[in-house]
Amino acid sequence: MKIHEYQAKKLLQEYGIPIPRGQIAKTYTEALQTAGKIGRGPFVLKAQIHAGGRGKAGGIKTASSGEDVGRMASEMLSKVLVTTQTGEEGKPVQTLLVEEVLEIGREIYLGIVIDRQKACPVILASSEGGVEIERLAREEPDKVITEAVDPCVGLRPFQANRIFYSLGIDQKLARQAMAIIIGLYRLFIEKDCSLAEINPLVITKEGSLVALDAKVTVDDNALFRHPETAALRDIGQENPLEVEAAKHNLNYIKLKGSVGCMVNGAGLAMATMDLIKLVGAEPANFLDVGGGATSQMVKEGFRILLYDKDVKMIFINIFGGILRCDTLAQGVVDAARELVIDMPIVVRLEGTNVEEGRRILAESGLTFTVATGLEDAAKKVGEIINGYKEGIR
Amino acid sequence: MSILINNDTKVLIQGITGKEGAFHTGQMVAYGTKVVAGVTPGKAGRSFDGIPVYNTVKDARAATGADTSAIFVPPAFAADAVMEAMDAGVETVVCLTEGIPTFDMIAVRQYMKGRDVKLIGPNTPGVISPGSCKIGVMAGYIHAPGPVGIMSRSGTLTYEVVDQLTKIGIGQSTCVGIGGDPIIGLNFVDLLAMFEKDEDTQAVVIIGEIGGSAEEDAAEYFRRHMTKPVVAFIAGITAPPGRRMGHAGAIVSGGKGTAAEKISALEDAGITVVKDPARVGTTVQNILAGKR
C-alpha cells in the first residue's frame, strides 16, 4: 500500500528523522493558516499524490509570501496532476503539503528495499540524491552503495558506519547520519515496509541533515497487524472501479484499451491481456476473479467491466479446475440477464465440466461467441475488434 | 519418475480441518496421494475421512512417518506452520497459503539455513507428479504422466499449458508451482537442476511473469548447466509498471522485472520463448519431435 509523502514524513519523525517544518492543507484557508504558522517565506507547496515525477508536472511550487501560498494552493488543489508515473488519467490533488524552504548544500539518497533472492532487507545509499535510484543503479552502479542486512541480528553499527563513510559527508554529521540510517531501518522493519526511501536527504547550509522528500510503501499482506498504517489508505488516489472491485475481492486494474477481460487466476489474466495485444487490440483491464471464483464474483466482475465506458467488447477466459465451468457459465448467464449488455462477448471455457458449461451458454438464448481453446478465442476477439476498426459495428 | 514427490511420498496436511484443507485433502486422496496424517492443534485423536489428526507435526511424524507437509493454514499463522514442519524434520514443505507477510517469509528463509529441507511456495497451487502423487489444489485429471517438467509462478496459466500438452498427447513428469510471492522457497534454478537430473524429464517449460529476476537467473543457469531443451512463456508484456498484477511478486518496479527484459535474457541464453500463450503446447511438441 502506498501512502502520501506527508504521512511518510510523519513516520520518519516518529523514528527521530528530521523533516522540514510544514503542515498539510486541503483548502485555501488551511494553506494560508499553515503559511502563517511556518512564519516568513519562502514556502514550498507539494501536491500529495500517489505517484512520483511531481516536480516537472507542476506539482511542486515555491511561493515567496503567504498570499502567494493561498493563490497557488487554490490553483493546485483543483487540479488533476498528470506526471510521467500517473498515466494519462492523472491523480487528483486533494491535499497539499506546505513546507518551509530549506537552503540546501548537498543532496544524498537513502533507501531500503527487500532483496527477493537473499530474502533480506538491503540498504541503498548514494552521494547523488534527488535522482531516480533505479536509473543510477543501471547507468552508474558504482555510485550506489548497497548493504544487505542479516534479518536475525538486524542492522549492525559497522554497517551504518560503512554507509556513512562511503557517502563522503563531513565527519561532524556522523552522529546525525547514523541516527537517520538506524531510524529508517527500524521504521522499515517495525512497519512491515516493502520500501522506505528518503530522496533526497539533504545537508542544509546550516549543516544539518533533513529528509526533504520521503516515500514509504507498506506490505499489503501485513496490514492486518498494523491497523494504524492501514488507516492511512487514501482511496481518493485509487481508481473508483478498482476500489469497487476490491470490495468484492476481485483483483482489478484499469488499463487504457477497449477489450474488457475477465479471467480466473493472475497469471492467466496477464497472459490473456498479452493475447489481446497479439491480435492487435488493447486490454481495457486486468481482472482476476480468483482461482476459486464463485458465480457471484463473476457477476460482480461483469458489472465492473460494464461500468467502464472504454470497454467495447468483453472476453471471458476461464480455466475451470476445482471451480467448475458449469458454475461459471451459470454466473455469466445470470449476470448477462440481470445487466444490460450491448456489446459482443467472447467466452472461452476450459476444464472441469466444460461441456455442461458450454451447453448452459448455448441454451441461454443470449448471444455469446463461444470459443474453444485459447487460439480460437484470440481469433474471435481479433475478428470483432477488426470489425470495429473497419467501422462494421 | 519425477522430481520432489512420487508414489512413496507420505503426506501430512497442516490445517486439515479447515474449509480449504478439508476439501483439498479429499481431492488429493481421490487422486491417489498417500495422505497419512492431519495436524490441527486441539483436535488430536479425531480422524478426518479415516486420516488420523494430531496436535503437532512432531506427533504426526512420529506416528506415521510422514515426510512431506502441505500447508493450508491462514496467512497470519502460515509461516509458523512452515517452521513447525521444518523443525519436526519434514523433508518437503508445500505451502499453499496466499497472503503471508513478506517479513514472515524472511524469517522462514532464515530458519531454513542449515536445515536440509525443501520449501515450495508459498502462494502456490502445489506440486503434481501425474499418475502418482498430487499435493495441491490443481485439478488432477487435466494432467497425464509423461516427459515434460513444468515450473511456474502461477496457477491457472499452468493448467492452461498442461491442458494444451495433455490434449496433444504429451504428459508431464512433475509440475511445480514455485509461488507468486516475492520471497519463496525453491526457485526456477533449483528446479532446473532437479529436472536436468531426472531421467524421465526430456524437456522443461518455464512459465514466468513480471517482477523479480527468477527468469533471468534461470536463463543464466540454463546457459551454464543445462543440456535438456527449455521452453518459456512470460506473462505480463502488457502489464503497466508499478502495479501489482494479482500476485504479490508480480510487479515491475523502477523499470526492473519487465517481461521484455526477461524474454531477452531467456532468448540470449538459447531458451525458446513462446510469445503466444496458445502455442506453448505445440512449441514443446516441435522441440520434442526435433530431439527424437
Query: Is residue A392 over pLDDT 70?
Result: no
Q: Are residues A227 and A119 in the same domain?
A: yes
Same domain, A362 and A221: no
- Going by C-beta distance under 8 Å and a sequence separation of 6 or more, which residues neighbour residue A137? A124, A144
Q: Which of A256, A258, A255 is nearest to A287 (CA)?
A: A255
Q: Of A190, A210, A236, which residue is a domain's last? A: A236
Q: How far apart are CA B159 and CA B130, in angstroms?
A: 13
Q: Determine, yes or no, domain membership for A392.
A: no
- Which CATH number covers residue A363? 3.40.50.261
Interchain proximity B238–A277, CB inside 8 Å? yes
- A141 in the same domain as A84: no
Q: Which three cell numbers stand for residue B185?
A: 522457497
- The domain that contains A35 carries what CATH number? 3.30.1490.20
How many structural domains are present in chain A? 3
- The residue-averaged pLDDT of A261-267 equals 92
Does the residue A272 lie in any domain? yes
Q: Could you tell me if A221 and A259 lie in one domain? A: no
Catalytic residue among A109, A147, A185, A300: A109
Domain match, A58 and A179 both: no
What domain range is A200 assigned to? 1-20+103-236
Q: Does residue B255 have a pLDDT over 80?
A: no
Looking at the structure, tell me whether residues A205 and A229 fall in a common domain.
yes
Contact A225 B76 (CB under 8 A): yes
From chain B, the residues in CB contact with A278 under 8 A are: 275-276
Q: Is the pLDDT of residue A391 over 70?
A: no
B143 and chain A: CB distance < 8 Å anywhere? no
d(CA B195, CA B2): 8
Q: Which three cell numbers stand for residue B61?
A: 511424524
Q: Is residue A318 part of a domain?
A: yes
At residue A393, does pLDDT exceed 60?
Answer: no
Tell me whether residue B247 is one of the annotated catalytic residues. Answer: yes
At A10-67, the pLDDT tens digits run: 999 999 999 999 999 999 999 999 999 998 889 999 999 999 889 999 999 999 999 9
A230 and A258, same domain (yes or no): no
Give the strand order in the sheet containing A96-100.
A22-25, A96-100, A43-47, A60-63
- Mean pLDDT computed over every residue of chain A: 92
For residue A13 the three cell numbers come to: 519523525
pLDDT digits (tens, 9 = 90+) for B69-126: 999 999 999 999 999 999 999 999 999 999 999 999 999 999 999 999 999 999 999 9
Q: Where are the beta strands (DSSP E) in A127-192?
A: 145-148
Rounded Cα distance between A324 and A326, Å, is 6
Contact present, A180 and A210 (Cβ < 8 Å): no
Domain shared by A303 and A250, yes or no: yes
> Is residue A58 a part of any domain in this protein?
yes
Same-domain check for residues A290 and A194: no
Residue A278 lies in a domain: yes
Query: Within a domain: residue A391?
Result: no
Residues A89 and A167 in one domain: no
> What pLDDT was estimated at residue A218?
97
Q: Could you tell me how far CA B201 lies from the centroid of its own chain? A: 16
Give percent of chain B above pLDDT 70: 99
**CATH assignment of the domain containing A193:** 3.30.470.20
Same domain, A91 and A108: no
What residues of A are in contact with residue B99 (Cβ under 8 Å)?
221
Which amino acid is located at A142 in the chain?
Answer: D
Query: Do A300 and A191 lie in a common domain?
Result: no
Return the residue in A89, A133, A268 with the most chain B beta carbons within 10 A, the one to mutate for interface testing: A268
Residue A393 in any domain: the answer is no
Domain end: A204, A236, A268, which one? A236
Last residue of a domain, one of A220, A236, A252: A236
CA distance B63 to chain A (A): 31
Q: What is the pLDDT of residues A300-320, one digit of tens each?
A: 898 899 999 999 999 999 887
Q: How confident is the model at residue A367 (pLDDT cuts 50, 70, 90)?
A: confident
Instruction: Tell me what the pLDDT averaged over chain B comes to.
Output: 95
B44 phi, psi to nearest 5 deg? -60, 145
Q: Chain B partners of A133 at a C-beta cutoff of 8 Å?
A: 254
ipTM: 0.92
A236-245 pLDDT, tens digit per residue, is 999 999 999 9
Residue B188 has pLDDT above 60, yes or no: yes
Examine residue A378 and state whether it is found in any structural domain, yes or no: yes
Grid cell for residue A164: 556513512
**What distances in angstroms separate CA A68 from CA A38, A233, A286, B26, one per listed residue?**
14, 30, 43, 70
- At residue A260, does pLDDT exceed 90? yes
